[in-house]
Structure 1
């Protein structure tokens, strides 16, 4: 096995832009592109491998052929039917609708077996004074929220925060959120495309009509009264040649920010797959059978059977994988990290 790269799947969105051309020198379709699905195996888009002897095959075809060599010995049976992660880049040239995502239980019951949608955002780029919506003011009740929607004044209930490049946000299911204009985001999420739009800024679109909203479903799943600490600090671990910041440890994914100054060495352990997403810079990934370049804007899947590898260069990457979070927390405690340090990781 070898590190797998993929063809991007571009999604036309009325709020999209052309930032992927400028930032990553991509050749885009002529439309406004709001989403680039970097690694996907969903009914609305399945990634095709772009490198090596498996080029042209879909991710699920290769999983069916190679099985545990890709997913690892710890993979749940469900992963063979539906890959658990969806990796995207979002380009917001205009405001997205205010929205919320359901959890697994609600989505399975009401969305034909879909997964819920817990996600994490890394702000790749943002214009000056860029903002996001993150959460509902804690004093706002479900009934007040519904009334404000009817009156077209939902802004009064929303928490707006300023963001800049390098900011990280964890968005568990039930959290109301929206990206405002001028923000480019890397998104790691559960493999789901279920979104409940609750408010669209009273806009009329090109056809002169408002977009469809999903108010009843949204009211069912919003986590009213939740504490909203938006930005992730993480647990930073500095080593010779690189630093690792553990950002999120949820049942759905663990994410780490790797800042490589010289060299990072690791092993895929045969138990699980790993996903690397390039954010800044360029590096070379060396493994037993060869090496590949990993640059900003690229996503690479490391099969569980890849073995030992090292990354040399100067680059910033997100590394994502799935592991039992109780086992993960216990491991950190055994390594000497305090409960207060571990609490800096979102999702635990």
Structure 2
């Protein structure tokens, strides 16, 4: 086993642009790329390995032939049928629709066994005064929300927040949200492509007609009356030459940043896989007397059986993985962190 890089799967979107060229020197097929699926194994797009002996194979092919060596001993049976994560870069040159995603139960029942979609965003770049839609005002009822859509005044019921590079937002299923123009971000999410649009800024599609909305389904899944979401602060852990900040811990993924100034020793012990995405600088991954480079904007899958490896460089990465939350919290408490400190992590 070795760190797996993949060819991006590009998605043309009416709201897409060319930020991936200016930011990461990508060679894009056109000037309206809204999504780059960095690691994907979905019916709507699947990654192929770009390096090493598995080059040209799709991710699920590698999993099918090497199973536990890739996913780990603690992977769930369903993960062998459907890789649990979808890792993306999103370029919002224009506003995305105001939308919401279902949970697992609803998606399984109404979307042909699809997973639900809980996700998180890390803002890589944002124009001055960039904004996101991030939740519904807590006093808004389902009935009022539906009426405001019909009457063309939905925006008054939405919460907008300003964002800047480095901001992190956690978006559980049922949370109304929209990326507005001038934002480039990394998205870590469940492996799902189900979106219910509730408002599309009166925009026309390529065919000159309004894009499809999914208002009834959205009303079924929106979490009305919930506390307004807030930007993630995370739990900061200082280690030798590295600041590790745990941002999100959900049943679907745990995500943290690693801010490394020299080198950082890690180990894939056989129990779970890890995903690393470069945010800033350049990292060298040293493993088994070999080395690969990970630049900003690149993503790599660390197989569960890789063993010890280290990251060298002056760089910042996102690291994502899946772990039982009880086990995860027990580990943090054993390191001396209190319940109050652990609650700073979004999702806990």
Which residue is equivalent to 1:279?
A: 279
1:7, 1:49 within 8 Å by CA — same for their partners in 2? yes
What is the DSSP-based 3-state SS (H/G/I as helix, E as strand, rest coil) of the residue aligned with 1:228? coil
Which residue is equivalent to 1:235?
A: 235
Q: Distance in 1 between matches of 2:205 and 2:28?
A: 23
Q: Distance in 2 between matches of 1:178 and 1:186?
A: 14
Which residue is equivalent to 1:183?
A: 183
**Following superposition of structure 1 onto structure 2, how do residues 1-348 of structure 1 map, counting pairs within 5 Å?**
1-348=1-348
Could you tell me how far 1:31 is from its partner in structure 2?
Answer: 4.2
- CA deviations on 1:184-231 (whole Å, 9 max, x unpaired) are 010000000000001111223343311100000000000001112321
2:135, 2:177 within 8 Å by CA — same for their partners in 1? yes
Could you tell me how far 1:330 is from its partner in structure 2?
Answer: 1.4
What is the DSSP-based 3-state SS (H/G/I as helix, E as strand, rest coil) of the residue aligned with 2:138? coil
1:6, 1:300 within 8 Å by CA — same for their partners in 2? yes
2:17, 2:33 within 8 Å by CA — same for their partners in 1? yes
Q: TM-score, normalised by structure 1?
A: 0.99
1:20, 1:91 within 8 Å by CA — same for their partners in 2? yes
- CA deviations on 1:135-179 (whole Å, 9 max, x unpaired) are 000111100000000011110100000000000000000000000
Q: Distance in 2 between matches of 1:64 and 1:201?
A: 43
1:35, 1:90 within 8 Å by CA — same for their partners in 2? yes
Q: Distance in 2 between matches of 1:25 and 1:38?
A: 15
Could you tell me how far 1:239 is from its partner in structure 2?
Answer: 1.2
1:2, 1:289 within 8 Å by CA — same for their partners in 2? no
What is the DSSP-based 3-state SS (H/G/I as helix, E as strand, rest coil) of the residue aligned with 1:174? coil
Q: Distance in 2 between matches of 1:68 and 1:235?
A: 30
What is the DSSP-based 3-state SS (H/G/I as helix, E as strand, rest coil) of the residue aligned with 1:146? helix
- RMSD of the alignment, in Å? 0.8
Could you tell me how far 1:334 is from its partner in structure 2?
Answer: 1.6
Structure 1, unpaired ranges of 5+:
none
Structure 2, unpaired ranges of 5+:
none
Could you tell me how far 1:240 is from its partner in structure 2?
Answer: 1.6
What is the DSSP-based 3-state SS (H/G/I as helix, E as strand, rest coil) of the residue aligned with 1:67? helix
What is the DSSP-based 3-state SS (H/G/I as helix, E as strand, rest coil) of the residue aligned with 1:23? helix
